[in-house]
Amino acid sequence: MEPILTKTWPGLANRQDLVRAARTMAEALARKMGRRVYRGVHLEAVADEKAVAISRSFPAPQGPERLPGHATALAARLTVSAPVTSLTIRLEGLSLAVPKQLNFFEADQARRQEEIRRFLEEADREGMALIRPAADADRRERMLSFYDPFRRKD
């Protein structure tokens, strides 16, 4: 079951009121979601008896903390010709959030790889060593570059 939140308004005449109303509704919907995540947001506004809709889908699941921002962005892009009297937010692709194993060393590894790359570039510039990082080479070439300092790929 996809959560839907519909609210009737006396008439949201300007864009700021529409965006503010969408944010308020999205915050209320996010509180109801709990541990569920979504893959799409659908925003529908009724103005002058005509419904105008806009939606966005995401490749990765989005948590409830992101819903107000997504709803606000959709409301800002919505084009209506008259004051909005009803606003509906519908979430698509709901599922429970899958716990993810934390990797405490991921950021540390990225920082270390960057330091190694900078050191190798500086050493190569100054002629201290005849080695190059083998980023695009296959595994064999990378392994040989550790043992054969005269192996260069130009």
What was the pLDDT predicted at 70? 94
Verify that 53 and 72 share a domain, yes or no.
yes
| Tens digits of residue pLDDT in 107-146 | 677 788 888 888 888 877 776 655 555 456 677 777 777 7
What whole-number distance in Å separates Cα of residue 44 and Cα of residue 20? 15
pLDDT beneath 50, residues of the chain: 134, 154
What was the pLDDT predicted at 27? 92
- CATH number of the CATH domain containing 13: 3.30.1490.100
What was the pLDDT predicted at 149? 65
For residue 65, the enclosing domain spans 4-96
As for how many domains the chain has, the answer is 2
What was the pLDDT predicted at 108? 75
Task: Please calculate the CA angle 19-22-24 and round it to the nearest 5 degrees.
Answer: 110
Verify that 56 and 130 share a domain, yes or no.
no
What was the pLDDT predicted at 123? 77
